[in-house]
Chains A and B, each alone.
Chain A
Amino acid sequence: MPKNLLSIKNLCASVDGKRILNGVNMEICPGEVHVLMGPNGAGKSTLANVVMGDPRYRVDAGAVFFEGEDITGEKPDTRARRGMFLSFQAPEEIPGITVENFLRAAKAAYSGEDVKLLPFRKELRAKMSELEMEPSYAARYLNVGFSGGEKKKNEILQMAVLNPKLAILDETDSGLDIDAVKTISESVHRYKNETNAVLIITHITRILQRLPADYIHIMSDGRIVRTSDASLIEEISRGGFASVLG
Chain B
Amino acid sequence: MEKQKTRVDDINRERFDFRDADKSGYKTGKGLTADIVTEISKMKNEPAWMLKHRLRSLEIYHRTPLPAWGPPLGKLNMDEIVTYVKPDTGLKSDWNEVPEYIKNTFERLGIPKAERESLAGVGAQYDSEVVYHNIRRELLSQGVIYTDMETAVQEHEDIVKELFMKLVPPQDHKFAALHGAVWSGGSYVYVPEGVRLAIPLQSYFRLNAPGAGQFEHTLIVVEKGASVHFIEGCSAPKYNVLNLHAGCVELYVREGATLRYSTIENWSKNMMNLNTKRALVEKNATIEWISGTFGSNTTMLYPSSILKGEGARSTFTGITFAGNGQHLDTGAKVVHAAPNTSSTVSSRSISKDGGIAVYRSVINILQNASESKSSIVCESLMMDSVSRSDTIPVMDIRNDRVDIGHEAKIGRISDAAIFYLMTRGLPEEEAKAMIVRGFVEPIAKELPLEYAVEMNRLISLELEGTIG
Contacts and interface: CB of A to CB of B under 8 A. Distances in A.
B366 interface: no
A109 B424 contact: yes
A196 interface: no
Contact of A81 (B425, B428, B435, B441): B425
A54 B417 CA distance: 11
Contacts of A59: 1
Nearest to A88: B420
B169 to A, nearest CB: 41
A85 to B, nearest CB: 7
A240 interface: no
A169 to B, nearest CB: 13
Interface residues of B, number: 33
B415 A162 contact: no
Given A94-B434, A96-B441, A56 B423 contact: no
Contact of A73 (B2, B423, B435, B467): B2
B417 A92 contact: yes
B425 A162 contact: yes
User: Size range of the interface on A?
Assistant: 35 or more
A97 B420 contact: no
B382 to A, nearest CB: 16
A55 B425 contact: no
Contacts, number: 105
B341 to A, nearest CB: 30
Q: Which of B423, B427, B440 has the most CB of A within 10 A?
A: B423
B426 interface: yes
Interface string A57-81: 0110000000000001111110111
Nearest to A56: B415
A88 B423 CA distance: 10
A105 interface: yes
A201 to B, nearest CB: 15
Contacts of B4: 55, 75
Contact of A80 (B423, B434, B465): B423
Contacts of A58: 1
Contacts of B1: 53, 55, 58-59, 72-74
A102 B434 contact: yes
Interface of A: 52-56, 58-59, 72-77, 79-81, 84-86, 88, 91-97, 101-102, 104-106, 108-110, 114-115, 117, 141-142, 158, 162
19 contacts: A52-B423, A55-B4, A79-B423, A80-B425, A84-B423, A85-B423, A88-B423, A92-B417, A94-B421, A94-B434, A94-B435, A96-B442, A102-B434, A104-B466, A105-B466, A106-B425, A109-B424, A109-B466, A158-B424
Q: Which 5 A-B pairs have the closest CB atoms?
A: A96-B438, A96-B441, A109-B425, A106-B424, A110-B425
Given A55-B3, A91-B420, A105-B430, 7 more contacts: A52-B423, A76-B423, A77-B422, A77-B427, A79-B423, A93-B417, A95-B438
